[in-house]
Amino acid sequence: MHIPVWRYYLVLGACLSMFAGLGVRAAWIQVIDNDFLKSQGENRTVRYQGITSHRGIITDRNGVELASSIPIKSLWVNPSRLFEEQEKYTDFFETTAWAQLASLVDMSVMELNSWLGDPRRNKKQRVWLKRQLEPSRSAIIRRLKIPGINLEQESRRYYPTAEVTAHLVGFTDIDEKGISGIEKAYDERLQSENGRRKIIKDRKGNPIEQVDIIETAQSGEDLALSIDIRIQTSAYQYLKAAVKRVNAKAGSVVVLDIDTGEVLAMANQPSYNPNNNKTRVANSTRNRAMTDVFEPGSTVKPLTAISALTSGKYYSNSKIDTSPGLIRVGGRWVRDGRNHGVMSVSDVIKKSSNVGVTRIALNLTDDEFLESFYKVGFGVDNATGFPGESTGHLNIRKNWSAIEKATLSFGYGLDVSALQLAKAYAVLGGLGTSRPVSLLKVQGPIVGQQVIDPYIARQVIGMMEQVVTTGGTGKKAQVAGYRVSGKTGTSRKTIVGVGGYGDDYFAVFAGVAPVRNPRLAIVVVIDDPQGDAYYGGDVAAPVFAEVMEHALRTLNIAPDVTDKKELIVASLEKNYD
């Protein structure tokens, strides 16, 4: 049968037309309208990847790390994907791998299955299962290769010095947001911002090229604190031993650099390990040196002496009659432990006479008497920005009674924190110059404000030096090779919710050294020491001596004792008779 030639041409033309159409279409798609194919290709090869940044590092003044962020894996799951796998393999949640996973996240298989089946998460595509896994566990989970189970790089805050600096440094939550201490006070400066980048992966999912940075990662700012970890560690250890020795409820130590206002050490008991959530109980996590207040007792008697000398009504050798060892004020008795008879103002401080400071206070106008209390910063916080810092209490009501004025002269009727008391003694040690307290390292010396006459401040330092000599109430605060000036304090604790005073005490010692050129101010507070020796001179003074000696030698501060006669600074007091 003969086939017409035209049919061959028809078929050939059709074929050529089809190939021409395909060519035109291919050219159109690949050259002119190629966005669709590009987007489809990128969906399969281009991925967005997070760029991890780290929270700022916290160090001591010499660069020793106190807080840093370490890399760690966290586990998240895709419940939708897991249930899809169960539809394919009915025994998916009964496999050995699944049982291993449950064990690694501290759950039973039943608990894990119930957790996944919760309506609040079973249809989601991303849910955290376990944050901050131990490296050994994350390595095992990676080897299990369970579909829908994913490990993600995160970071966790780590505190190398643990409980030694816990109260000052503080801690963060699981997302590294500061919730206590310096971590909270400077959270905005420490915070980091993760970035994002666009990358190309091969068919096995391995990154082969970085295309672009979508969001730049920003690491947090590093902070250098004012503390010296060597002094901080010794203060912590000596305080801990003392609190244990006298079976006290709590305790605090503060060390201030007089020239700069920097806090060189701040320790509290009880403490806690910020790396272990289980030790974070309310009683142990607060920074008592800044948040808790107490009536400072006789440690404020030097301020009464300053007010007396500043008024011009008294000199250091002015005589005060304290006989017969008690005085009636407004229907109540103020007593000394013994009858000291006629005393000089210096001896009133040395012997810590309640009757002596009462007679002085009652002979001053209210403004004359209160001036020194306000000038050293009582009643206001130290503006450190530390969360929970207390302002203390020095609110004098109008027409206050004579007994209120009397008791204030020896440290009752006002509340201060350990840091506020340390600041007051730093003002004395700075010869009347007040400098702002700093928790961050500063470049000193810092120019301060002259709030007390330097000559009067020097006289009162001389009075307080006698407290630490033989016959004074604070002789256990002596430091070999250094002249020390300080004051003991023992105050009754008020009964919370009831009022009045009970049989519990605060034992306090505050002082400065070396006397010739004071560099450090230290305050020690022991809350509720047990036993017969509960006085500040017996309990707090020895801790002061230990911390002060270590700090002075650590900072290479030269001894200032060249002769035993220098232990009494009589030459500092001008004879006005």
Q: What is the 3-state secondary structure (H, E, C) of 230-292?
A: HHHHHHHHHHHHHHHHCCCCEEEEEEEECCCCEEEEEEEECCCCCCCHHHCCHHHHCCHHHHC
Highest mean pLDDT of the ranges 3-17, 41-55, 508-522: 508-522
Of the pLDDT bands very low, low, confident and very high (cuts 50, 70, 90), residue 35 is low
Q: What is the pLDDT averaged over residues 166-186?
A: 95
Q: Are 414 and 296 in contact (CB under 8 A)?
A: yes
DSSP lists the bridge partners of residue 149 as: 77
Going by the DSSP 8-state scheme, the letter that residue 119 receives in this structure is T
Going by the DSSP 8-state scheme, the letter that residue 325 receives in this structure is S
DSSP lists the bridge partners of residue 488 as: 509
Whether 565 shows a pLDDT value over 70: the answer reads no
Going by the DSSP 8-state scheme, the letter that residue 482 receives in this structure is B
Helix runs in 145-219, H state only: 166-169, 181-185, 187-190
Round to whole Å and give the CA distance between 227 and 230.
9
Per-residue model confidence (pLDDT) at position 564: 52
Round to whole Å and give the CA distance between 265 and 519.
14
Nearest to 333 by CA among 263, 407, 399, 272: 407
Mean pLDDT of all residues in the chain?
87
Beta strands 58-59 and 223-224, pairing class: parallel
Q: What is the pLDDT averaged over residues 33-57?
A: 65
Nearest to 474 by CA among 517, 439, 507: 507
Round to whole Å and give the CA distance between 240 and 248.
10
DSSP lists the bridge partners of residue 70 as: 156
Nearest to 525 by CA among 166, 254, 301, 247: 254
Round to whole Å and give the CA distance between 478 and 345.
22
Per-residue model confidence (pLDDT) at position 41: 58
**92-97 long-range Cβ contacts below 8 angstroms, 24+ apart:** 97/144, 97/145, 97/146
Tokens of 315: 């000199």
Could you count the other beta carbons within 10 Å of the beta carbon of residue 468?
A: 30
Round to whole Å and give the CA distance between 547 and 231.
8
Whether 576 shows a pLDDT value over 60: the answer reads no
Active site residues per annotation? 298
Round to whole Å and give the CA distance between 157 and 274.
9
pLDDT > 90: percent of the chain: 63
Domains of the chain: 43-64+161-225 (3.90.1310.10), 71-152 (3.90.1310.10), 229-273+287-572 (3.40.710.10)
Nearest to 291 by CA among 173, 377, 381: 381
Q: What share of the chain is helix, strand, coil (3-state, %, to 5)?
A: 40, 25, 40
- Which amino acid is present at 46? V
Of residues 229 and 84, more confidence is placed in 229
Of the pLDDT bands very low, low, confident and very high (cuts 50, 70, 90), residue 153 is confident
Going by the DSSP 8-state scheme, the letter that residue 198 receives in this structure is E
Contacts of 171 (CB under 8 A, 6+ apart): 157, 159, 178, 179, 180, 181, 183, 274, 280
Per-residue model confidence (pLDDT) at position 148: 86
Per-residue model confidence (pLDDT) at position 51: 58
Model pLDDT for residues 504-535, shown as the tens digit of each residue: 999 999 999 999 999 999 999 999 999 888 99
Angle of CA points 271, 272, 277, to nearest 5°: 160
Q: Are 418 and 268 in contact (CB under 8 A)?
A: no
Going by the DSSP 8-state scheme, the letter that residue 177 receives in this structure is -
Q: Are 274 and 170 in contact (CB under 8 A)?
A: yes
Whether 381 shows a pLDDT value over 50: the answer reads yes
SS (H, E, C) 381-407: CCCCCCCCCCCCECCCCCCCCHHHHHH
Three-state DSSP at 88 gives helix
Model pLDDT for residues 424-477, shown as the tens digit of each residue: 999 999 999 999 999 999 986 788 999 999 999 999 999 999 999 878 889 999
DSSP lists the bridge partners of residue 370 as: none
Q: What is the pTM of this model?
A: 0.84
Round to whole Å and give the CA distance between 287 and 253.
11
